[in-house]
Structure formats: structure tokens, C-alpha cells
Amino acid sequence: MSEFQMPRGIVISGTGLWTPPDAISNEELVQALNAYAEKYNRENADAIESGELQAKPYSSAEFIEKASGIKSRYVVSKEGILDPERMRPYLPARGDDELSLQAEMGLKAAKLALEKANKKPEDIDAVIVGASYLQRAYPAIAIEIQAQLGIDGFAFDMEVACSSATFSLQRAVDTISGGSAKAVLVINPELASPQVDYTDRDSHFIFGDVAVASVVERRETCSGESAWEVLGTKAKTLFSNNIRSNFGYVARAEDSDPFGPGKLFRQNGRKVFKEVCPMAASHLETQVEELGMQPAAIDRWWLHQANINMNNLIAKKLMGDEASTERAPVVLDRYANTASAGSVIAFNLHSDDLPVGSKGVICSFGAGYSIGSLALEKIAV
């Protein structure tokens, strides 16, 4: 056992997936973007002709699917996103005495995870919320959910962009391993749509909203129908400017527009593809080898769901000619990129069919750069 591997006996005993009611197809997004671009180009025709401004390019559903593999996405609210006069979701403000939207999303997924794990709130000692975007700085969304469930213990929020889910799962494993808790509820409520620039052809289609949750506990307390034992975890970060979101409260002191150019999500897609794919493949190969296995012995890879071309390349590096959507399931075609939640969605939807003794890896990669992964084995309860 390497110095970075934790003792055995910690399991993921249940996961929950909450899917928003509203879906938006590529065709709907393209229609809205093209109407916006036509209006913008018409109103700024003189400046565009003189070279002061660049014309807004048009998009197509075919371009989106070829570039990303995405066909549709779920959002908390369609209202406003498809309006060429608005191009952002409309989410009514809630009072301080009301449940926040992100807590509401997380609570729904949490209840499903608790049910799957056959656990009650009194069985949980800690709540960790990990998400790429947090609705507010404080009080923590995790503490708000903790209060709603009536959990006696501690809770906190954390953010590592698209690796927030895997990193928060690892923190849960470490917390249990260190004796601070016996069972941890990990929640990843990804409310990404407010951070999307729906006027930008290269990024308006990328993200969707969703919430996932997982129960992590000691094997001896597990009472669900099945569980996945954590064989090992691995995390890596490396600074890069190629994926960035500069939105933040400091804009007020800078006298800048908090929603202005460069403040919302942006990326250099070509560099991300070129740099992250080999990093992720090497990370995963190293992890399973440290555990005494080869990639060929892994029955299922629940990869980060950002881009189908990235997933295909990483799967090919790991599995060679044996790469398939059965061994590396794809959910981004209908969920789009759900930031940190994608690999947990894949795990939730594509793990029950595997027999006891099967091995799999949950993996994320994203801004930072950050890469997080958990190697698992299905056990009988």
C-alpha cells in the first residue's frame, strides 16, 4: 500500500440524482442566440463595418453536437434564457427566511441519497457541499441543508471548480478515516446556468443545472442493498489560466462591471483539450497501478462529463480498442456539462447493473487544473 492510500472499510452506500424539470435543446439555444446576434449586428452595423466592433457569429445545432457531444441540457428555469432581449435565466430573489435555491436543489438530491443508503438524518455526522459555483459566501449552503434535515454535527462548503464533487468525496473519506465522523452526506448542487454567457457562441451551450448527493460511511454501518468500497483516492492540481471565471465581490472595489467581459465562464478549449487529456489519462493509469491493478481490470470508468471528444480520447488511452460507452458511460448528451456533478451522475445511472466484485473509477478534471478520482469495488452488504 502506498503512503497515500487510506485504510479499507469506507464505502459509498447510496447516491441521489435530482434533475430539473426544464430542458433546453440545442435547436432552442441556437434560435435564441442567432436572433440575438442578428439584432446585435443590425444595431451595431456601422461600428462593425469600421472595425470598432466584431460581428456576433451565428451558431447551429450541428456545430454544438460536433464540438461537444451535447444535444440538450436541464436548467432550473428556462425563463429568460431563450429571450433575445435577456439571454440569462430569470430566478426570483428569495428572502433570508426562505430556503435558498441551491439548498433546495441539494436537499432534493440528499433525500434520494439517504433513501438509497437506507439512512436517516440522525445517522449522519457531517454534510459537505461541493460545487463549482456557490450562491453566496455565507452562511454555508451545507449548514442550511444540515438545518433542514435536522442533522446534529458539522457542515461546510468547498469549491474546486469541476473537481468539487470528487474532492468533496475525498474529504468525506478522509473525515471518516480520521475519526471525525462515522457517516458523511456529500452534496453537489450545480447551479451553473446563471454563470453562462448565452450570447457567446463558443460557450452558450456548455452547462446545465443538476444536483447529486452521496452517502459515505464505514462498511460496518452500511445497511443499503449494495455499496461501493473505496479502494483509494487521488487528487492533483496544477495552476492554469485556460479555464477561468472572474466573477466576484471584489469587482465592487475595482469599479468594474461584475458581469462584464471576462467575468463569466470562459476557456481556451484547444489548450484545455491538449493539456488535460494526457494529464487525466496518466493520473488514472498511475492510480490503478498504485492499487496493484491495470486499466484493463477496471470494469467501468465514470469520467467527467465535459466534452465527448475529451472522453473518447481518455477512454481510448485507458482501454485501447476495448473502449466503449458501456465501460465509459456518457450522460452529457442530455445533461450537458454539469460541472463537478457529471461523473457522479454517470455513477448514479450506470453502477447498479454491475455484479459484486466489479471495479470502477469516478474521475473529474477541470479548472485549476484539477483532477480528482476514487477507485471503487462493489461489495455485498
Annotated catalytic residues are 162
Distance between CA atoms of 169 and 347, rounded to whole angstroms? 13
Residue type, 371: I
Q: Which three cell numbers stand for residue 195?
A: 454563470
Burial of 174 (0-12, 13-18, 19+ CB in 10 A): middle
Q: Which residues pair with 156 in a beta bridge?
A: 128
Neighbours of 4 (CB within 10 A): 11
Q: Is the Cα dihedral 86, 88, 91, 95 positive or negative?
A: negative
Angle at 159 between CA 157 and CA 164, to 5 degrees: 105
Q: Look-up: residue for cell 439517504? A: 114
Neighbours of 293 (CB within 10 A): 15
- Cα dist. 140→157, 375, 377 in Å? 6, 29, 32
Taking a C-beta distance cutoff of 8 angstroms, is the pair 11, 219 a contact? yes
- Cα dist. 134→81, 140, 168 in Å? 20, 9, 14
134 alpha carbon, distance to own chain's centre: 13
Q: What are phi and psi of 27, to 5 degrees?
A: -60, -40
Q: What are phi and psi of 205, to 5 degrees?
A: -100, -5
Angle at 140 between CA 138 and CA 142, to 5 degrees: 170
